[in-house]
Amino acid sequence: MRILTSADANFDQQLTDLLAFETVNDKGLLETVDHIIHQVRQTGDKAVLELTQKFDSHPATSMQDLMLTQNELKAAYDALEDPIKSSLDTAAERIKSFHQRQVQQTWEYTDDLGNRLGQKVTPLDRVGIYVPGGLASYPSSVLMNAIPAKVAGVTEVIMVVPAPKGELNSLVLAAAYLSGVDKVFTIGGAQAVAALAYGTDTIPQVDKITGPGNKYVAAAKRAVFGQVGIDMIAGPSEVLVYAEGESGDNADWLAMDLLSQAEHDTVAQSIFVTTSEEQLKAVEQAIESALAQLPKADIARQSLANRGALILVKDRAEGLQVINRVAPEHLELSLDNPDELIEDIRHAGAIFMGRHTPEAIGDYCAGPNHVLPTSGTARFSSPLGVYDFQKKSSLIYCSEEGSKPLAQVADTLAMQEDLEAHARSARYRSEQAN
Annotated active-site residue in 329, 332, 347, 370: 329
Q: Is 108 a catalytic residue?
A: no
**Cα separation, 176 vs 420, whole angstroms:** 55
**Cα separation, 202 vs 186, whole angstroms:** 12
- Counting Cβ atoms within 10 Å, is residue 328 exposed (0-12), middle (13-18) or buried (19+)? buried
Is 261 labeled as ligand-binding?
yes
Are the C-beta atoms of residues 94 and 366 closer than 8 Å to each other?
A: yes
| DSSP-derived pairing of the beta strands 309-312 and 2-5 | parallel
**Cα separation, 397 vs 22, whole angstroms:** 47
Angle at 267 between CA 217 and CA 194, to 5 degrees: 5
Is 130 labeled as ligand-binding?
yes
Is 370 labeled as ligand-binding?
no
Chain centroid offset of residue 333 CA? 21
**Cα separation, 410 vs 413, whole angstroms:** 5
70: left (phi over 0), alpha (psi -120 to 50) or beta: alpha
Is 38 labeled as ligand-binding?
no
Is 58 labeled as ligand-binding?
no
**Cα separation, 347 vs 396, whole angstroms:** 35
Annotated active-site residue in 58, 99, 330, 370: 330
CB contact set of 108 (below 8 Å; sequence gap of 6+): 116, 117, 118, 119, 395
The kind and range of the H/E element at 136 are none
**Cα separation, 159 vs 186, whole angstroms:** 8
**Cα separation, 32 vs 190, whole angstroms:** 9
Q: What is the DSSP letter of 131?
A: -
405: left (phi over 0), alpha (psi -120 to 50) or beta: alpha
Measuring CA to CA, which residue among 45, 51, 53 is closest to residue 32? 51
Is 417 labeled as ligand-binding?
yes
Q: Half-sphere exposure of residue 136, counting CA atoms within 13 Å on the CB side? A: 12
Q: Is 370 a catalytic residue?
A: no
Is 330 labeled as ligand-binding?
yes
* SS3 assignment, position 275: coil
**Cα separation, 77 vs 368, whole angstroms:** 23
Is 356 labeled as ligand-binding?
no
Strand residues in 248-335 grouped as ranges (E)? 269-274, 309-312, 330-334
Residue 393: how many other CB atoms lie within 10 Å: 10
Q: Which residues are annotated as a binding site for Zn(2+)?
A: 261, 264, 363, 422
Q: Which residues are annotated as a binding site?
A: 130, 191, 214, 237, 261, 264, 330, 363, 417, 422
Query: What positions carry a catalytic annotation?
Result: 329-330
Q: Which residues are annotated as a binding site for NAD(+)?
A: 130, 191, 214
